[in-house]
Amino acid sequence: MTTGMELRDQGVAAVISADTAAHRSAAPYLREALDAFIESGQAFSADDIREALAENVVVRRELANRPNLMPALIANAAKAGRIEAVGLCRPSRASRRSGRNLVWKAAA
């Protein structure tokens, strides 16, 4: 029997592996930005990553078409123990106002 966590992990893996297709190219930029935030030691949210890459047309296009890519990459980093949730923040995008964003920081 598959648990909810196993299904989540399968979904994350599917989203990340789909980005390896030839026409996909946002993940390297997102990983680079995520790594920079982790290395800086400062707290960050998905909105901070999105803002850091606001001028990147490839990332904007792919996130519009595949909104689960960034959460999958963040979840993967958390599962690997690279980051940990340290709080909550309100999303800045109008489409996410009623949701919640976790605030992340490099794992101790």
The whole-number pLDDT of residue 87 equals 96
The whole-number pLDDT of residue 99 equals 82
The whole-number pLDDT of residue 81 equals 96
**Domain locations in the chain as residue ranges:** 4-106
11 or 21, which is more confident: 11
Structure confidence by residue, pLDDT tens digits, 53-71: 999 999 999 888 888 889 9
Instruction: Output the CA angle 20-96-26, nearest 5 degrees.
Output: 15
The answer on pLDDT for 12 being more than 70 is yes
The whole-number pLDDT of residue 19 equals 60
Structure confidence by residue, pLDDT tens digits, 22-51: 446 788 999 999 999 999 999 999 999 999
In sequence order, the 6+-apart residues with CB closer than 8 A to the CB of 75 are: 8, 12
Whether domain 4-106 has CATH 1.10.10:
yes
Decide if 76 contacts 88 (C-beta within 8 A): no
